Chain A
């Protein structure tokens, strides 16, 4: 029997799976394993990480990663699924944190409301319900304005929240000094006081939330949200009350954001208005966009990658791993065939060694500085990169040069690209060692921006997002 086109297309999946090799095997496994074994595996990895985590610093970063993961999960509801550009989201985070702070500190007493702090098992549900209501009120705006206009209006909500806690009733809300001395999360006769305790708490909250959101994603509500994103008029014509559905999306997102806020406030032991500025909003968006809007696993991965990446930059050793690791990763992914990859790496090393020797012979002060990286990376590159004794001005020039070279790299023809790649990497490394690593907080922003640009160019749908078709 001749095989018609339809049968041929229908068998595509089987043919795809039938092959050998580790890639096909991975693809087969990927198709067969359901969502909950994956979630269980991720939880297991998280628990093992918790066991291995050795110092408070790592544990705190891990808690923060999970808080951002939860925040990204909440943002995903309105932005990734429903397609509403909600720029007031950080207000929900702040609402949860301040809500927890008020109920779990003596602010409640001083504000004239009276009474002792509530246990967390009472205060957190109260805060979440209040946040849902607050979110619904903000969500009402989506009934009147949409698209860019909604973004502008909600942006003011975020700003208004910061101004509100800054200025209204400093006796209760603490003004610029914030609220401090909060009770830790407690209930059922126990309390969580260590970072590792908060890590496990946030891990379980995050895993449960992922499960619940997965269920919601595949329910009538989740489908209605995505239908509104795809085509609001068609959704309305297909029995979906789009207004109510949009309000619900923002409200649900508010609850998740507030949940992250309560954990944040409890583990940090205090809240300040500056914890909830537009910078944080941008960071949450970066998590979601990097991980892949619309994807639950992507939101969590994005939260972890962005937060962990930001923290790694502030330690000279870890920053080196991150910087050189990313360069090697990008080379391995993009440069083919293998001997070309080898040639590029060898040429880069040779260029550095030769230049270092030449410059060192001309002027010893030009190579007198030590690289910013610590540990073995620092000693390894000390005879490779050129770091003069006065590194700052030199580094600034290199930074501009690096950007120009990257631009050139993007625009030159294919055959010159490999040749230009070698000096670009070398200039970037010199710039990194002499200048960027000296200001970790600024470098973290630059690096996250660079990672975002690179990811968006290579995978516009984000790390785990699925390709979306807009117009046909």
Chain B
């Protein structure tokens, strides 16, 4: 896969070693007067899995949209392996090694499973339309290469996304398989950092458990750093090296799962103030 760079000693140590892979410094996203995000500092080290949690509307997906270039940062810096990537268009950012999935699935529904994955290799191939039309050597070679990439990426999901499905249109897949295909498509861009937006949303307990295992395998076998948005606390607990809690576009706390889960500010963000405490106030 991609060059993993200097691997930190322990993944769970949290981006302290050398240079983090992804670094957000004082990131702010403003829509007119609305501050969707403000002053967010966040880092993800190589091979680290970081979860973002927070109630609905906290700005979690906004963080993803800012990192992938869908939104331009209003303030602050986004750095990938030390290079500033803020303000670049999404396709450039993905080519530099950040791939994402979408919370509300955004597959190319009327294309086959295989085509969905191959489409994501656009940035890695160079054949011009004329070369493709005439099937010149470079176009043929690249076609073979991307088909190999597709097989490799889809094989990662084993039986669940088995071979006969590869030539079926994406709309014929089950919900869980669509989520898998989104991850497969993201992997085909050869990322160093994978952003997963609610990978377990809408899945049954069995499938949710598989997602937890899958995320672990993505790190172990593909040496990826992963940033996850997830509401299912079992998943978050099972995968995270570090958890970041957001509310109203501001980071409330950050740390190991149990610290964050029991943090009073996090509980307040999810459940509101303790009524007794309110009465005293």
Contact = CB atoms under 8 A, between A and B. Distances in A.
A239 B132 contact: no
A313 B244 CA distance: 71
Interface stretch (A89-97, A230-238, A326-334): A230-238
Contacts of B162: 6, 10
Contacts of B122: 220, 223-224, 227, 238-240
B127 A220 contact: yes
Interface string B215-257: 0000000000000000000000000000000000000000000
Interface stretch (A187-195, A211-219, A345-353): A211-219
B119 A216 contact: no
A237 B90 contact: yes
Contact of A248 (B100, B129, B133): B129
A472 to B, nearest CB: 6
Contacts of A235: 108, 119
A226 B110 contact: yes
A87 B12 CA distance: 57
B198 interface: no
Nearest to B100: A237
B118 A223 contact: yes
A1 interface: no
Contact of B124 (A215, A219, A221, A239): A239
B100 A219 contact: no
A32 interface: no
Contact of A241 (B91, B134, B188): B91
Nearest to B110: A468
A472 B179 CA distance: 14
Given A221-B129, A223-B115, A240-B122, A230 B108 contact: yes
A328 B242 CA distance: 71
Contacts of B91: 236-242
Nearest to B117: A238
Contacts of B121: 220, 239
Nearest to B146: A220
Nearest to A222: B132
B189 A238 contact: yes
A219 B106 contact: no
A469 interface: yes
Interface size range of chain A in the complex: 20 to 34
A292 to B, nearest CB: 13
Contacts of A248: 129
Contacts of B139: 219
B109 A216 contact: no
A234 B108 contact: yes
Contacts of B133: 212-213, 215-216, 219
Given A230-B109, A231-B108, A240-B91, A219 B129 contact: yes
Given A216-B133, A236-B90, A239-B189, A469 B123 contact: no
A221 B146 CA distance: 13
Interface size range of chain B in the complex: 35 or more
A18 interface: no
Given A239-B91, A239-B120, A227 B171 contact: no
A219 B143 CA distance: 8
B164 to A, nearest CB: 4
Contacts, number: 116
Contacts of A224: 119, 122
Given A238-B120, A240-B122, A9 B94 contact: no
Contact of B134 (A215, A220, A221, A234): A215
A234 B106 contact: yes
Contacts of B119: 223-224, 226-227, 235, 238, 240
A212 B89 CA distance: 31
A464 to B, nearest CB: 15
Nearest to B188: A238
A221 B108 contact: no
Interface in A240-278: 240-242, 248, 252
A308 to B, nearest CB: 29
A249 to B, nearest CB: 10
A219 B123 contact: no
Nearest to B90: A236
A234 B143 CA distance: 22
B72 interface: no
Contacts of A241: 89, 91
Nearest to A239: B123
A97 to B, nearest CB: 24
A220 B106 CA distance: 19
B95 interface: yes
Contact of A220 (B68, B70, B99, B132): B132
B30 interface: no
B157 to A, nearest CB: 13
A6 B161 CA distance: 10
A469 to B, nearest CB: 4
A240 B122 CA distance: 6
Nearest to A242: B91
A238 B119 CA distance: 7
A340 to B, nearest CB: 35
5 contacts: A10-B162, A216-B129, A223-B111, A226-B108, A234-B107
Given A219-B132, A219-B133, A231-B107, 6 more contacts: A220-B125, A223-B111, A226-B108, A238-B123, A252-B129, A469-B169
The 7 closest A-B pairs by CB, nearest first: A239-B123, A219-B132, A230-B108, A234-B106, A10-B164, A238-B120, A469-B171
